[in-house]
A and B are shown apart, each in its own frame.
Chain A
Amino acid sequence: MSERDIDKMIDELVEREVSRRQLFRLGAAGAMSVGAASFLAACGGSSSLGGGTKTQSKVIQKSALGTELNFSNWPLYIDVAHGKHPTLQHFQKKFGVHVNYTEEINDNTEFFGKIHQQLANGNSGGRDIIVMTDWMAGKMIKLGFIEKLNKQYLPNVQKNLIPALQHIDFDPNRDYSVPWQSGQTGLIVRTDKAPDVKSVNDIFNPKYKGKVTMLTEMRDSVGLTMLGMGKDPTTGSVNDMLAAIDKIGKYVKNGQIRRFTGNDYLKDLPHGDTWVCYGWSGDAVQLQSDNKNIKFIHPEEGFMLWTDNMLIPVGAPHPYTAEVFMNWIYQPQVEAPIEDYVNYVPPVNGTKEALLKIDPGVAKNPLIFPSPAVLAKGHAFKQLAPADDDKVNNAFQQVIGA
């Protein structure tokens, strides 16, 4: 057994139990979150942003490489070995830049609430890269909180970003954002308890009363429910969303829906508290490997797709270094080890081939590398204007009891 194999075994033993958004759901965080958003060009969402906070963002200029880079990300969203991050160590070896990696983002809204005041003053709090889900990335770009990228320094991104993500509604030419990971929201099912779940609407089957959970992330729960009602979450109206929320509310009242979770279903499904739930693909990959009775299902009506994006906030101390980092990540052989660990959907072309060499099992997993036919049924949630966003979010929070 080579050292690498042993390392891997230890890592698996230590880390199998947890996955990225499992931690810190509580406390202040409330909900772990993943938004849904925009793979497809969505219409609407013309914003009516009024004055208030406005910071000028400018195009990043070349400078000397910094000695450090401050990278804020979600928990468990990069490869880990022995408490360190091999990818980041690799970067340091290659460029002499030490990456201060902080897992401080647990929730889009909460993180926004924490840093918006600083950003409005053109201060990023020392952060060079932050990772936000599409809809929040769109909001921050509109507010002028994000530096414009200089694509001259991002040749790998130009070359390797998968086509589906090249043009998205909130940032049509990827002038501000570079995808970190994508994921799918669908149904996760205990096949021994609920054997023939195919449709989103099966979650409302009275047979599963009290054994059903949805996500606290509004865009995922409302989006999937809309699909079940025959509405497209990308083009649907605010009224369609409110109708979906009403429907969810009805099933909260009658006890069908047990609760709303971050990824607590990681525990609830194996324990049998939950039989059918809305959940995220990356978690499902882990659950399936531990329990053969657990399965991720792409509902026949379609599923939700979302992306988390790297952004350089205004006032970032090392913007050029941040671009160098982004560009470096966009090489399949660099992305592959990250993917091997996080199990979401990589935005870098060629990752599958690179991963085949180091971990063929993961490379062949259709949840990590969905076929084009499957991806075609993915939907992004509409980019909402702030007033609509408030309205829909409010209604949703009331329905989930808060």
Chain B
Amino acid sequence: MAFVRRHRGILPLALLLPGLAWLIIFFALPLYYQGKISLEVGSIFNGFHFNWHFKTYTDAWSAYRTQFLRSFWFAGLSTVLSLLIGYPLAYAIAFRAGKWRNALLLAVILPFFVTYLVRTLAWETILDDSSPLVSFLQTIHVISPHGRVLATTGSVVAGITYNFLPFMILPLYASLERIDDRLLEAGADLYGNRRSVFWKITLPLSMPGVVAGVLLTFIPAAGDFVNATLLGSPNQTMIGNVIQSRYLELNDYPTAAALSFTLMFIILVMVALWAKVAGTDALMGTEASAT
């Protein structure tokens, strides 16, 4: 202790050490190696060697632009759907659920007790061509008499939305739940009707939750490959499927690494833009000012 007391500056550093080591070993180093691999040329049979081969990036982009754009389209759509489904639910749990609040929260989290893969496989069965649900949709002419749900864009987007919905609901709930009731009462006292209280008070105060929820949903959704594999057809493959096949099927490590980097970069840019629009305060979870 005497040592620490004498060198006050050391303590924060020492406390940071485990986290820092974690970041270096599991984030910085892999990133470095991946960056290196992405600039190598060669094959698994002849070995790879480093050669600043930036062409891999442009080649990968032109070969797989479709899958990139599709990934962001699917992820964006799923995020919007999650928000539309998740906000009313989080709102209801936070303000209207009363004693059911914990039970409802549990119900939101409960599916997570089952692994991701199994949940998605269950959807594959629920949506298969001879399932009662699909027959029903055919009967009410939502889909054509010989139409299908599985192996379509709809099923993939629905799968992603379902799988990432709790990531949207939980931060939304957390920020809605923190809202001080007295502010809402004050709004009512000042002749705000329910609608204007919601738009002028509740919604702005819940923005940190919206921002966090959008990020937590969009980022993993853009890199997802399980939903496209199980619920999609070759016309729905996403960039995650491509990266997986490049790594494992073709042993084409440079292209896979380049694709991963490109994906990371695009997401980073999107997050930065989103943070700029939404404000970094919101991003950090600091409550937006209600004034």
Contacting pair A30 B248 (CB below 8 A):
yes
Known: A271-B130, A272-B130, A386-B45. A401 touches B241 (CB 8 A): yes
The answer to whether A109 and B45 have CB atoms under 8 Å apart is no
Other-chain residue from B45, B230, B249 in contact with A31 (beta carbon distance below 8 A): B249
Contact A52 B45 (CB under 8 A): yes
Residue pair A113, B229 in contact (C-beta under 8 Å): no
A347 to chain B minimum Cβ distance, whole angstroms, is: 27
A113 touches B235 (CB 8 A): no
> Which single member of B117, B125, B230, B251 contacts A113 (CB below 8 Å)?
B251
User: Given the complex, which residues of B lie within 8 Å of A258, measured CB to CB?
Assistant: 151, 233
Contact B45 A107 (CB under 8 A): no
Which residues of A, 102-157, contact B by the 8 Å Cβ criterion? Answer: 107, 109-110, 112-113, 116, 139, 143
Does the CB pair B44–A113 fall under 8 Å? yes
CB proximity to B under 8 Å, residues A243-287: 252-253, 255, 257-260, 268, 271-273
Bound-state CA distance A397–B150 (Å) is 22
**A143 and B45 contacting across the interface, CB-CB below 8 Å:** yes
Known contacts A273-B128, A401-B234, A402-B242; is A30 also within 8 Å of B249 by CB? yes
The answer to whether B129 touches A397, judged by C-beta atoms less than 8 angstroms apart, is no
A307 to chain B: closest CB distance in Å?
Answer: 21
Please report the number of residue pairs spanning A and B whose Cβ atoms sit closer than 8 angstroms.
Answer: 107
Q: Are B244 and A259 in contact (CB under 8 A)?
A: no
The reply on B46 being an interface residue by CB < 8 A is yes
- Taking a contact as CB atoms closer than 8 A, the residue among A109, A210, A268 that contacts B250 in the complex is A109
B45 touches A397 (CB 8 A): no
Which residues from A are CB-within-8-Å of B125? 271
B51 interface residue (CB < 8 Å to A): no
Chain B interface residue count, CB cutoff 8 Å, equals 36
Q: Is A50 an interface residue (CB 8 A)?
A: yes
A15 sits at the interface (CB 8 A): no
Assembly CA distance A33 to B244 (angstroms): 15
Residue contact B129 to A113, C-beta cutoff 8 Å: no
| Beta-carbon contact of B46 and A50 below 8 Å | yes
Q: Which stretch of A21-29, A35-43, A74-82, A171-179 is in the interface?
A: A21-29
Chain A residue at smallest Cβ distance from B151: A258
A31 to B247, CA, bound (A): 12
Q: Are A271 and B129 in contact (CB under 8 A)?
A: yes
In the complex, what residues of A have CB within 8 A of residue B234's CB? 252, 257, 259-260, 399-401
With A30-B245, A401-B233, A402-B241 known, 18 other A-B pairs at CB within 8 A are A26-B117, A26-B229, A28-B244, A30-B244, A52-B46, A113-B248, A139-B45, A211-B129, A216-B249, A253-B235, A257-B233, A257-B234, A259-B232, A259-B234, A272-B128, A400-B234, A400-B237, A402-B245
